Amino acid sequence: MKSKEYLSMLQKILHLVDEGVHVLDKNGNTIIYNDAMSKLEKMETKEVIKKPFGEVFKNLNNENSTLLKALKYGESTTNLKQTYLNKYGKEITTINSTLPVVVNDEVVAVVEVAKNITKMAEMSHTILKLQNEIGKPEIAKTKKIRKYNFNNIIGESSNFTEVIEKAKKASKNSASVFIFGETGTGKELIAQSIHYESKRKDKPFIAQNCAALPESLLEGLLFGTSKGGFTGAVDRAGLFEQANGGTLLLDEINSMPYELQAKLLRVLQENYIRRVGGTRDIAIDVRIISTSNEHPKIILKEGKLRKDLFYRLNVIQISIPPLRERKDDVLMLAHMFIEKYNERLNKEVVSISEDAKENLLNYEYPGNVRELENIIMSAMSMSDDQAGTLNSSNFSIQKTDVEYINNHEEIGNEGIDEYLGNLEKKIIKNALKINNNNITKAAETLKIKRQTLQHKIKKYEINI
Ligand SMILES: Nc1ncnc2c1ncn2[C@@H]1O[C@H](COP(=O)(O)OP(=O)(O)OP(=O)(O)O)[C@@H](O)[C@H]1O
Ligand SMILES: [Mg+2]
């Protein structure tokens, strides 16, 4: 391919990519500045192209700009967070990777690829600010933070009682706890109960979801940042410091970025942290409770969690069974939720009708206790009755499958495959009907992927 063709191809590619691309020649003049970069920095291409970099970005220099560092020292950086001001003084936060292009031992150009995370950075600052405020005792008193303890936990099935016993034992010491359970099984409830039953109860309980933020933001959030760490950084305590003496809940640890896991492991081994960009080691004493909604075997097998970190976190393992495996607890929980919503909705429901009980007991609860609560809450708020018995007419669960099974107690001549096929077809038809044949919505109702539903519609030759 001729160089002209290459160039034209390159321009097409650069036009299409979502990441900002900025390339300087060896003299520090901009030779490539794509649309995404122009959008990100709110600068017109013509304001930047062919101009010396230092003239356009006046507050950046050889020491704080990754592009200039790459040009001057041949240094490459990957996924580095940068905060800087554009020409109009607007603060921009990006994740940058910068590479020098070296030919015959000479840097001939430098390439920077940038992802805009300004919104994300603003969000993480807000989270930290709020968390700092919550941490202040005088504010904590006035703010209603939902605190759970063992008295709030309902359930008497033997497999669930074992879980509670184990959690109570865990509250007697400070070892790391790894809680595993499907969504809505009560992981947070148990984590908080352990904390508020333990010696640490008067110190903070702080929860952070590890899946919500990219690595560099989560790192700053957990360990804090230090002035001078990167452009625009401020001195701020991270969650480890804020939770000192208390408990830090690392929610969805299976989604924590892999690189950060190594840093977390080091902190847990050494019991001190260093703020991002800081030089001082700060001793910390924080109990770690982590949660995952995937089985540890799977997350280890798929390499989502470092084994060495897992062993540190998994000193006590608590595995909460899904609600469908402890059906004995369903009605007990349902009554508790009825009481809760009697109060909130100003109602006086006292009992559950027989058919409603049957419905509740036959359902599989993919969303576990949270889903049961939603079913009760919406049935109570939809019902016109102020008092009396809760019946199933307002249940948002798929009644058809329950009815169908009850009406066809005997499989008869069909055989189980055909029987189940017909049952599935009927459930799908019903889901489509209640969603006006909207496949996306029907898939949501059925809690399956849209593609899976489409496949089944074809298989069962359902006309929509
Ligand atoms: N055994 C229980 N007794 C009383 N309430 C419960 C119980 N289990 C769960 N809940 C309630 O169900 C809801 C979901 O619980 P929680 O937030 O602890 O679940 P989770 O496992 O952390 O879910 P997710 O994985 O989606 O974060 C909460 O409102 C909680 O109070
Ligand atoms: Mg949770």
For position 202, which CATH number holds? 3.40.50.300
Cα–Cα distance, 42 to 56 (Å, whole number): 13
The predicted structure's pLDDT at residue 142: 34
Check if 201 has its Cβ closer than 6 Å to any atom of ligand 1.
Answer: no
Ligand 2 center from residue 370 Cα (angstroms) = 10
Position of tokens 């700009």? 65
Residue 464 lies in a domain: no
- Strand duo 106-116 + 77-85: pairing: unpaired
pTM of the model: 0.64
Query: What is the residue with the minimal CA distance to atom 26 of ligand 1?
Result: 183
The predicted structure's pLDDT at residue 63: 77
Query: What is the residue with the minimal CA distance to atom 30 of ligand 1?
Result: 186
* Pair 363, 301 in one domain: no
Virtual CA dihedral for 216, 218, 220, 224, nearest 10 degrees? -160
Exposed e or buried b for every residue in 13-22, given b needs 16+ CB within 10 A?
ebeeeebbbb
The pick from 369, 373, 447 for probing ligand 1's pocket by mutation, whose C-beta has the most ligand atoms within 8 angstroms, reads 369
Residue 106 lies in a domain: yes
Domain count, the chain: 4
From the CA of 156, the nearest ligand is 1
Check if 193 has its Cβ closer than 6 Å to any atom of ligand 1.
Answer: no
The predicted structure's pLDDT at residue 82: 75
Residue 335 lies in a domain: yes
* Pair 128, 230 in one domain: yes
The predicted structure's pLDDT at residue 407: 45
Query: What is the residue with the minimal CA distance to atom 10 of ligand 1?
Result: 186
The predicted structure's pLDDT at residue 74: 84
Query: DSSP string covering 280-347, please?
Result: -EEE---EEEEEESS-HHHHHHTTSS-HHHHHHHTSEEEEPPPGGG-GGGHHHHHHHHHHHHHHHHT-
The predicted structure's pLDDT at residue 232: 56
* Pair 213, 271 in one domain: yes
CATH of the domain at 367: 1.10.8.60
The pick from 149, 163, 185, 341 for probing ligand 1's pocket by mutation, whose C-beta has the most ligand atoms within 8 angstroms, reads 185
Question: At 81, is the secondary structure helix, strand, or coil?
Answer: strand
The predicted structure's pLDDT at residue 233: 61
Cα–Cα distance, 106 to 104 (Å, whole number): 5
- Between helix 187-197 and helix 158-170 the angle, nearest 10°, is 40
Question: At 159, is the secondary structure helix, strand, or coil?
Answer: helix
Check if 189 has its Cβ closer than 6 Å to any atom of ligand 1.
Answer: yes
Residue 301 lies in a domain: yes
Ligand 2 center from residue 205 Cα (angstroms) = 14
* Pair 193, 276 in one domain: yes
Amino acid at 65: S
Amino acid at 120: M
* Pair 220, 277 in one domain: yes
From the CA of 208, the nearest ligand is 2
- E strand or H helix that includes residue 111: strand 106-116
* Pair 124, 239 in one domain: yes
* Pair 231, 299 in one domain: yes
* Pair 344, 238 in one domain: no
* Radius of gyration in angstroms for the set of CA atoms belonging to the chain, rounded to a whole number: 28
* Pair 103, 153 in one domain: no
Domain range spanning residue 105? 3-116
C-beta separation of 244 from 285 below 8 A: yes
Domain boundary among 77, 92, 116: 116
- Residues with pLDDT less than 50, the chain: 137-144, 399-409
Atom of ligand 1 nearest to the CA of 336: 4
Check if 154 has its Cβ closer than 6 Å to any atom of ligand 1.
Answer: yes
* Pair 348, 443 in one domain: no
Nearest to 247 by CA among 287, 297, 307: 287
Check if 369 has its Cβ closer than 6 Å to any atom of ligand 1.
Answer: yes
Residue 308 lies in a domain: yes
Cα–Cα distance, 234 to 178 (Å, whole number): 33
* Pair 157, 230 in one domain: yes
The predicted structure's pLDDT at residue 193: 97
From the CA of 368, the nearest ligand is 1
The predicted structure's pLDDT at residue 381: 83
Residue 239 lies in a domain: yes
Residue 15 lies in a domain: yes
Query: What is the residue with the minimal CA distance to atom 28 of ligand 1?
Result: 370
The predicted structure's pLDDT at residue 97: 86
Q: What angle do CA 238, 243, 249 make, to 5 degrees?
A: 95
Domain boundary among 321, 342, 363: 321
Ligand 1 center from residue 369 Cα (angstroms) = 6
